[in-house]
Amino acid sequence: MPYGAHETMEVHEILMEKVNMLNHFNLYAAQTQNPQLLEMIVRHQQEEIVSYNELVAYTHDYNRFSPVPPNTNIREISPQQIQYGLQNPPQFAPEANATLNDMEIASAMLLCHKNAARNGMWATLECADPNLRRLLLNSAANCANQAYEVFLFMNGQGAYQVPKMESHTAKSFLHRYQPAGDQLTAQYFSQPGQNAGYGQNFMNQAGNAMDPTVATGTPQSVLYGGTTQ
């Protein structure tokens, strides 16, 4: 396989980021006092180690590809479980000689995963090699799920509070957008030879927002361990 110059540099950045994350999470695991947070760090470390090793292996020999399945607990979350609104939100400021407490560790994890998801998706867009692209897409999706799990932990602890908007204001603002009209829909879903069931199938799949194969738009073969040669 040839090495594309652009994708080589992008993968270099991703691998360097993963090394940094793994090293930092080692420190977090040693310092956290919260058992739930420690359990999450261990699971995320397991997933990141496998993801790092798979990417290294592919860039060494370019002859195998094993997607990394997600190792997060976000499938059963419903919108009703999210805590909205501000209740005496905590204050933040840089500190001299600071030591990491559990919420600072969780915040650092969240930022690591968010940046990894964003950077992984950007690198995906710059890839020519199809298997390398799938590996990076898989990694970006898993990092997005890890970030969401950290958010859920922090939200449940009251450390990541979500400001809310009055219901009528939000509805007035968002309900300006209406469904695509019948004429446009018919133009693309009623032509001979087109898959008329695609629209309904897509809507049915999109209803399961907690399934990362839907929420990220990533095929199951990428997220759950299918192999692409």
Helix (H, G, I), strand (E, B) or coil at 162: strand
Q: Is 69 exposed, middle or buried (0-12, 13-18, 19+ CB in 10 A)?
A: middle
- Alpha-carbon distance of 206 to 217, in angstroms, equals 9
- Alpha-carbon distance of 31 to 38, in angstroms, equals 9
CB-based contacts of 139, cutoff 8 Å, min separation 6: 14, 51, 55, 68, 116, 120
Give 66-97 pLDDT, tens digit per residue.
Answer: 788 888 988 888 889 999 999 888 888 888 87
Q: What is the pTM of this model?
A: 0.81
Contact present, 17 and 116 (Cβ < 8 Å): yes
- Alpha-carbon distance of 50 to 66, in angstroms, equals 10
What does the domain layout of the chain look like in residue ranges?
Answer: 5-223
Give 130-170 pLDDT, tens digit per residue.
Answer: 999 999 999 999 999 999 999 999 999 999 999 999 999 99
Q: Where are the alpha helices (DSSP H) in the chain?
A: 5-31, 35-61, 102-125, 130-156, 167-174, 182-189, 198-206, 212-215, 220-223
- Alpha-carbon distance of 199 to 211, in angstroms, equals 19
Q: What's residue 140's pLDDT?
A: 96
Residue 195's pLDDT band (cuts 50, 70, 90): low
